[in-house]
A and B are shown apart, each in its own frame.
Chain A
Amino acid sequence: EAGVAQSPRYKIIEKRQSVAFWCNPISGHATLYWYQQILGQGPKLLIQFQNNGVVDDSQLPKDRFSAERLKGVDSTLKIQPAKLEDSAVYLCASSSRTDRVTQETQYFGPGTRLLVL
């Protein structure tokens, strides 16, 4: 079974530029999560999708961050414009069963390491 795929693996941009990250979850997984991991901290949820609907985006800085999962499979996370404090690893995760999502295991991709200069 293929794991969660993410691209790019690394990205360096200047502040005020825009950037986009892509995630392809494990096949059949209905729930998709984007987490932000700042150096020295644990990951924090940015947004959670159930199929193509948003379940939780309470921690997403909506003035600059956006995310979509149009067909309930792949997802894109965008930052525009980027700030220095957005430097972090952006992790995508997915889990399977929608009826017991609270108990299901989340599987993580390798992450995208973003450096904003």
Chain B
Amino acid sequence: AQSVAQPEDQVNVAEGNPLTVKCTYSVSGNPYLFWYVQYPNRGLQFLLKYITGDNLVKGSYGFEAEFNKSQTSFHLKKPSALVSDSALYFCAVRGFGGKLIFGQGTELSVKP
């Protein structure tokens, strides 16, 4: 069965520093991977996805993610964090029929 794991409940970063939010996956076959962000009292906003091709995927708001097949990981990264990046981040993998299977989420806190 497909699944994703986000090993960190919370990540704390100082503004201007690089950030990484970790995600590992377990799938049979080729993985289709996604990152979403959720601000308080808001729905999920799409950041980026990996379907095929380059292992480094660029997305919205300066975020990027690196697909690593050997480590079954899809970590979200940003070179320089902003306070406004503080939010809840979800990694997801495509499941049967196109549904998304989400991790439990990682709360990112960026302090000035």
Contact = CB atoms under 8 A, between A and B. Distances in A.
B52 to A, nearest CB: 9
A48 B97 contact: yes
A22 interface: no
Contacts of A40: 104-105
Interface residues of B, number: 25
A73 to B, nearest CB: 19
Interface in A16-68: 31, 33, 35, 40-45, 48, 55-56
B112 interface: no
A42 B42 contact: no
Contact of A56 (B36, B92, B96): B96
A75 to B, nearest CB: 15
- The residue among B32, B36, B41, B44 with the most chain A CB atoms within 10 A of its own CB is B44
Interface string B20-49: 000000000000101010000111111001
A91 B43 contact: yes
Contact of B94 (A91, A102, A107): A102
A106 B32 CA distance: 13
A43 B98 contact: no
A104 B94 CA distance: 10
Nearest to A41: B104
Interface string A90-105: 0101010000011111
B97 A42 contact: no
B46 A95 contact: no
